[in-house]
C-alpha cells in the first residue's frame, strides 16, 4: 500500500529545504520517484568527484575579478585522479617547485579542485569578486590554481612565498543533496605540518540553498580581520566573537 508524498503538510516544508523529507513509500520500499531522484543525486555526486577542473575556464573567470593578477598553475604530487582519491598524502604536496614570487604578501589564494571541481568552477571567482573590495590595502599574492589538490598543499605555497595568510577555496565532498559546495579555509603563518586545529573554515558555499557569495565573502573578511588582530587562526580565533562587516 502506497503512502503518497503529494499535497500534505510536507509539501510546504519541502519548499524550504532540498533535504529528502516526507518521502513516499510503497510498503517498506521507497516510491519510484524517490528511487530515481536518489539515483540521479548519487550520479551527480560521482560526476562531481571525477570531473576534472577546467583550468582555462577558471583562469578566464579569475581574469575578470578586479585586483587579481595572473594566476600561477600548479599540480599536486598525485599524478592522476585515481591516485589522488586513494593517496590523500600526495594531494597535500606540490609536484614541482613553485616559481619565485615577491615575498611578504598578506594573503595568497589557492583554488583547489578538491573533491568537487564543479564547486570551484561555479563559485570561487564569485566569492573573490565579493571579497577583495572588503579588504582594502591588502597585498594579494598571485592566485594559485592547483589540480588534484587538498587543503594542506597551500601550506607549502604560503611558506615558500612568505605569505602571512593562506585562503584555500576548495570543492567539498559531494553529498546526495549538493554536489557543488565550496569550502574556504584560512591559515595564519602557513607552513608544512600545520594542524587542522590552526585553520578556520567557512563551508557550504553554494547558492541558492547554501551560503551566497556575498555572505561568504563577509564572513571570510571578518575572519581575516580577526586573524590579523590575533596573529592566529583556528581555535584561537573564535568566529562567534567577531562582528560581521
Known binding site for adenosylcob(III)alamin: residues?
151, 172, 201
Rounded alpha-carbon distances, angstroms, from residue 125 to 25, 50, 110, 241? 42, 21, 12, 28
Q: How far apart are CA 162 and CA 108, in angstroms?
A: 9
Residue partners of 93: CB distance under 8 A and separation at least 6: 76, 77, 153, 156
Q: Of the candidates 244, 217, 56, 221, which has an alpha carbon nearest to the alpha carbon of residue 124?
A: 217
Residue partners of 114: CB distance under 8 A and separation at least 6: 120, 149, 150, 151, 170, 171, 172, 173, 183
* Positions at the binding site: 151, 172, 201
Rounded alpha-carbon distances, angstroms, from residue 37 to 33, 34, 61, 180, 204? 6, 5, 32, 17, 21
Amino acid at each position: 500500500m502506497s503512502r503518497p508524498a503529494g499535497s500534505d503538510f510536507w509539501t510546504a516544508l519541502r519548499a524550504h529545504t532540498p533535504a529528502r523529507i516526507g518521502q513516499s513509500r510503497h510498503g517498506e520500499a521507497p516510491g519510484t520517484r524517490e528511487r530515481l531522484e536518489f539515483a540521479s543525486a548519487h550520479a551527480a555526486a560521482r560526476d562531481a568527484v571525477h570531473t576534472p577542473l577546467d583550468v582555462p575556464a577558471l583562469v578566464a573567470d579569475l581574469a575578470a575579478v578586479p585586483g587579481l593578477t595572473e594566476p600561477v598553475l600548479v599540480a599536486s604530487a598525485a599524478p592522476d585522479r585515481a591516485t589522488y582519491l586513494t593517496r590523500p598524502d600526495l594531494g597535500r604536496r606540490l609536484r614541482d617547485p613553485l616559481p619565485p614570487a615577491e615575498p611578504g604578501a598578506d594573503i595568497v589564494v589557492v583554488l583547489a579542485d578538491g573533491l568537487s571541481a564543479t564547486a570551484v568552477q561555479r563559485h570561487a571567482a564569485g566569492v573573490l569578486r565579493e571579497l577583495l573590495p572588503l579588504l582594502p590595502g591588502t597585498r594579494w599574492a598571485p592566485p594559485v590554481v592547483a589540480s588534484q589538490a587538498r587543503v594542506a598543499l597551500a601550506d607549502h605555497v604560503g611558506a615558500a612565498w612568505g605569505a602571512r595568510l593562506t585562503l584555500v577555496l576548495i570543492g567539498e565532498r559531494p553529498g546526495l543533496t549538493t554536489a557543488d559546495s565550496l569550502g574556504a579555509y584560512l591559515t595564519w603563518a602557513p607552513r608544512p605540518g600545520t594542524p587542522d586545529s590552526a585553520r578556520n573554515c567557512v563551508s557550504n558555499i553554494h547558492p541558492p540553498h547554501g551560503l551566497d557569495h556575498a555572505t561568504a565573502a563577509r564572513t571570510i573578511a571578518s575572519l581575516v580581520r580577526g586573524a590579523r588582530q590575533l596573529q592566529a587562526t583556528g581555535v584561537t580565533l573564535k568566529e562567534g566573537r567577531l562582528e560581521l562587516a
